[in-house]
């Protein structure tokens, strides 16, 4: 317990992901840098919305039926027949197509604004995190706490 960490040894514990995946991260950064302009344009398009979206539903042709209505001897005869009798039963056919226009994506807009202006309430990347040597000791914090304030409005 001489190191003040409850018996933890130097180098013990889980390694940081940043250190563990350094080579994979560098390879991804290289690949992503080549397509950064395309990614930015796609993100802006998503954020703005207004582009066409098409949703289609496909089912096997053997499951699609229509009602066939015929009149024989003055009687109406209804029967269900396959809608696509010439297609194999397992071939997929489109039974529904929906066309719409995308609304602006709120999350994409927030990401772009945070990326440009910086996320509120976070430390900047320019400042490295404080190390144990830079942090004040408990004795120094206590001395700061007990120091008389120079602010006269706090006087009692």
- Angle ∠(99,104,110) on CA atoms, nearest 5: 150
Confidence of residue 5 (pLDDT cuts 50, 70, 90): low
In this prediction, residue 97 has a pLDDT band, given cuts at 50, 70 and 90, of: very high
For 142, the enclosing helix (H) or strand (E) is helix 138-146
What tens digit of pLDDT does each residue of 14-66 get? 777 777 788 888 888 788 778 878 888 888 888 888 889 999 999 999 999 99
pTM above 0.75, yes or no: no
**So what's the pLDDT on residue 81?**
93
CA dist., res. 20 & res. 13, Å (int): 13
> Residue 27 and residue 35: Cα distance in Å, rounded?
13
What pLDDT, on the 0 to 100 scale, is given for residue 124?
Answer: 57
Looking only at the bridges linking them, the beta strands covering 65-72 and 75-82 are antiparallel
């Amino acid at each position: 317990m001489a190191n003040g960490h409850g018996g933890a040894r130097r180098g013990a514990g889980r390694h940081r992901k940043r250190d563990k995946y350094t080579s994979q991260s560098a390879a991804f950064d290289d690949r992503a840098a080549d397509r950064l302009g395309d990614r930015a344009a796609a993100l802006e398009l998503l954020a703005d919305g207004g582009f066409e979206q098409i949703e289609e539903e496909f089912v096997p042709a053997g499951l699609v039926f229509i009602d066939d209505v015929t009149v024989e001897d003055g009687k109406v005869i209804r029967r269900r027949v396959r809608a696509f009798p010439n297609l194999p039963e397992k071939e997929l056919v489109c039974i529904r197509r929906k066309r719409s226009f995308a609304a602006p994506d709120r999350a994409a807009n927030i990401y772009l604004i945070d990326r440009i202006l910086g996320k509120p309430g976070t430390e900047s990347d320019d400042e490295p995190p404080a190390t144990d040597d830079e942090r004040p000791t408990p004795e120094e914090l206590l001395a700061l706490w007990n120091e008389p304030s120079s602010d006269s409005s706090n006087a009692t």
